[in-house]
Amino acid sequence: MRRLFLLLLLCLTMLACQDKNDPAKATGDKTASAIDDFPVPEQRFAQATPPAQHRPFTPPASDLPLYVSKGFGALFDMGMADPRDCAYRQVKVRLADSEDGDAGLHGIHAWVYTQPKTGPRAIAWNGLVYPTEELGPPADLVADVEAMLIRDSQPSPHGPYRRGLLLEDFESASHEVLLPGRAALLHRLGRGELAQRVWGQWAKSVRPDLKAKILLPMRHDFMWALFVRGFGAHMRGDDARALPYLRQSLAAWNHSGTTVMDDVARAAKWLYLDQRRRQKQKPHPSALSQGRQAFARQQDWIDALIVDLENVRLRPRDASPRDPVCLALLDEGPAAVEALLKTLAWDPRLTRLVKREGPRNFHRRLFFTQDIAYELLVRIFDYKDFPTLPLWDDISKNTAARYREQARIMGEWWKRYGLLSPVQRKLKQWVDELSYSDVLFGRR
């Protein structure tokens, strides 16, 4: 009996240690627990599937090297849409950009197919599927390719070697921009001669030191197009499309085995989990749609605005913040401070903000409601010398505790200086700093 008790105690101890060593359970790190929710490779075909997607394919006759032909096949294994048996037409689709996620409706030439309950779908020149907003007349594939080749042969402001530029969604989907994935689509259509010409012209723009890895940019273009499309849908609030878009991009990335886009894939994983959260929550009207008059108490109005921080699309730190939710909270001024401090300490929801770090950089920065609360508090306090917040991807370094500490510091500052006039505040801060230096240097 004693041995049985000791054995049970040992098992419980081991389980406790296992939980302690599990980052998701020990620290509340959602990144670790997200592994269980990570889309599997099979989901790269989860959307409305083109009619010939899984049909056997025989490569057309061409002078393309065998390794290039196999590289084209690898793209379709990753989830590139198969344009066979689709009508090539003029269409309008909603595309994304990196500013606020919405580039509006763009007219492109694409391969259109229809399945029951899905409506018309368009396969753009980046190999991605988009719901069609408008259908136009048939387009001329050969004429488009010829125009693409002529346009690409003109001198480029980026020099003779154009690779390394990351394109927006509305650029990669266009029938006017030459990219290596275009050759893969033409090859799949049986247009071997056109595919060879497109590939040959694009290969001339690859730097000599990258020739040994000439297939990688083609895969990266496709992966980047997947991620940008998902980011854009999230940013513009198109949640019905954002979730399947992000699921497909992560499934394709998981299948590809590439590590070049680890940072952008991590951002996509966070957005995917946020989209799952949004899918589960009950729909509710925004505070601004109801108006201030719908709330009997000021605090109720402020609380409703805090809830809506998850849909903020523009940062409030600019001299003229344009996001209406941020503007409404700034209008409340000191009355909103306590609610914003609570948000800074305890509210880790993601917003619509996805900021790019540069046109040549894969990295995307996400913003929590805590980040927005911090920037609003700085604006209300009219004081900037607080400790900097951790970046969103620094979650492994006890980020939750650092946000709470930031809220504590700012809360103490508000109690000490918040109700003073600007002149009184400056004077009191000067006196406090002087007193601190006296203590520091032993003068008292």
Task: Considering only residues 36 and 363, tell me which one the structure prediction assigns the higher pLDDT.
Answer: 363
324 and 262 part of one domain: no
Whether residue 438 lies inside any domain: the answer is no
CA–CA separation, 18 and 10 (whole Å)? 12
Report which of residues 312 and 6 the model is more confident about: 312
- Consecutive H or E run containing 114: strand 104-115
List the beta bridge partners of residue 131.
121
**3 lies in a domain?**
no
Q: Are residues 182 and 220 in the same domain?
A: yes
Task: Calculate what percentage of the chain has a pLDDT beyond 90.
Answer: 52
Residues 250 and 355 in one domain: no
- 269 and 379: one domain? no
Does residue 13 or residue 277 have the better pLDDT? Answer: 277
Question: Considering the domain boundaries, does residue 403 fall inside one?
Answer: yes
427 confidence band (pLDDT: 50, 70, 90): confident
276 and 36 in contact (C-beta within 8 Å)? no
Same domain, 292 and 340: yes
Per-residue model confidence (pLDDT) at position 38 = 58
- The CA–CA distances, whole Å, from 84 to 123, 189, 239, 347, 374 equal 10, 6, 29, 48, 52
> In this structure, are 294 and 200 located in the same domain?
no
C-alpha to C-alpha distance for 337 and 305, rounded to whole angstroms: 13
Query: Do the domain assignments include residue 100?
Result: yes
For residue 274, pLDDT over 80 is answered with yes
Q: Pull the structure tokens for residue 174.
A: 């266009």
Give me the pLDDT at residue 116, please. Answer: 78
- Mean pLDDT value across residues 428-432: 77
Return the pLDDT at 85.
95
Residue 272 shares a structural domain with residue 314: no
The predicted model gives 147-152 an average pLDDT of: 92
Do 315 and 204 share a structural domain?
A: no
- Please state which of the ranges 30-34, 193-197, 344-348 shows the lowest mean pLDDT: 30-34
Domain stop point among 256, 278, 300: 278
If asked whether residues 112 and 254 sit together in one domain, one would say yes
**Average pLDDT, rounded, for the chain:** 82
- The answer to whether residue 263 sits within a structural domain is yes
- Buried/exposed 394-419: b ≥16 CB within 10 Å, e otherwise: ebeeebbebbeebbeebbebbeebee
Residue 11 within a domain: no
**Cα angle 347-39-249, degrees, rounded to a multiple of 5:** 90
Q: Tell me if 247 is assigned to some domain.
A: yes
Q: Are residues 209 and 337 in the same domain?
A: no
Question: Which has the minimum average pLDDT: 48-52, 165-169, 176-180, 390-394?
Answer: 390-394
Range of the domain at 361: 287-415
Number of domains comprising the chain: 2
In the block, tokens 């029951």 appear at: 116
Identify the weakest region by mean pLDDT among 89-93, 323-327, 333-337, 360-364: 360-364
Q: Is the pLDDT of residue 162 over 90?
A: no
Residues near 283 by beta carbon (within 8 Å), at least 6 away in sequence: none
Of 435, 35, 112, nearest to 266 (Cα)? 35
Q: What is the mean pLDDT of residues 72-95?
A: 94
Q: Are residues 52 and 100 in the same domain?
A: yes
Q: Are residues 162 and 272 in the same domain?
A: yes
